[in-house]
Amino acid sequence: MRKTKNSGPTGRKLRSQAGSSQITEFGAAIFLLLSCIVIPLLDLSIVPVRLGLGKSIVSHRVHQLAQSECLSDAFKSLQESDFHTGLTRIGGFSAKSTQLSLVATSVKNPDQSMTVDRPGRLSTDWLPGGNKGPCLYRLDLTVDAEIEPLITAKVPGVQIPGLTRPIPFHLREESNWENMGCDPLSGEFFINK
């Protein structure tokens, strides 16, 4: 029945007069909704996605490195691998610096820990069977990165993270060191080799 009423010239006229004004108002509202809420949200919503992907890559990498034969192998693998390329492939993710370290934490006294950033630096006290032992050995990978939103508005002199410049993040992932054995020939612990 409605179709019959609106299909006439009077109905069409009425609809266009009243409806168009409503649509114009709604269009403005839609424009505001899109420009002020939806687009900025979409723009920023890529950041947690990129952060999640980056975190997952860092976590996977540190887990792999913790399974190395010895500590020097882990450091060498990190330097030689295309870890940075993998992070860059996410898009809008740039790793500024990467640091790998081994953290030994005393189980008896969890406040005490020793961090080394190169092989052969763990003192005898912190090695398995040492005075501080038993200890937990964790490989720690820290990445300082900048994540860009979908669109970055470059405004000279204005530095607003997430709007005019990428957002800086500090990613830190750790994994338990796996090879707790000793080299049968040299007698050195693989964790310190």
Partner 1 sequence: MKFSRRQLAKRDARGSMLFLCIAVLGVMLIIVGVAFSFYLVFFSHQHLQSRSEDLAMECARQLNENDHGGKINNLIGHSRELVFTSRELYYRTGNEEFRGLQGLAAQVLEQSRSGALLVAEDRNRYVDFSMEKLRKIVKESESRNQGGLFLTSFSAYGGEVVDLRVGDMDQLVSNVEASSGVYNLHSYDCQQKYVMTGKQGDLFVSNVNLKLPNEDSDLVFQLASLPAPVKGNAAPMRLTRGKGFKHSLILRDAGQDKTGKCVVIPSAVQVTMTMKVKQNVVGEFDSKTKTVNTACANGAWIEP
The residues that touch partner 1, with contacts defined as CB under 8 A, are 2, 5-6, 10-11, 14-15, 17-19, 22-23, 26, 30, 33, 38, 42, 49, 52, 56, 64, 67-69, 77, 128-129, 178-187
In angstroms, give the least distance from the CB of 155 to partner 1.
28
Phi and psi torsions of 119, nearest 5°: -70, 155
Phi and psi torsions of 79, nearest 5°: -70, -40
Nearer to partner 1, 5 or 89 (CB): 5
In angstroms, give the least distance from the CB of 189 to partner 1.
9
Could you tell me which residues come within 8 angstroms of residue 35 by beta carbon, excluding any fewer than 6 positions away? none
In angstroms, give the least distance from the CB of 186 to partner 1.
6
Nearer to partner 1, 19 or 168 (CB): 19
Nearer to partner 1, 91 or 129 (CB): 129
In angstroms, give the least distance from the CB of 177 to partner 1.
9
**How far is it, in rounded angstroms, from Cα 73 to Cα 168?**
30
Q: Which of 27, 23, 50, 9 is nearest to 162 (CA)?
A: 50
Q: Which residue has 């269009």 as its token pair? A: 27
Nearer to partner 1, 59 or 94 (CB): 59
**How far is it, in rounded angstroms, from Cα 119 to Cα 193?**
6
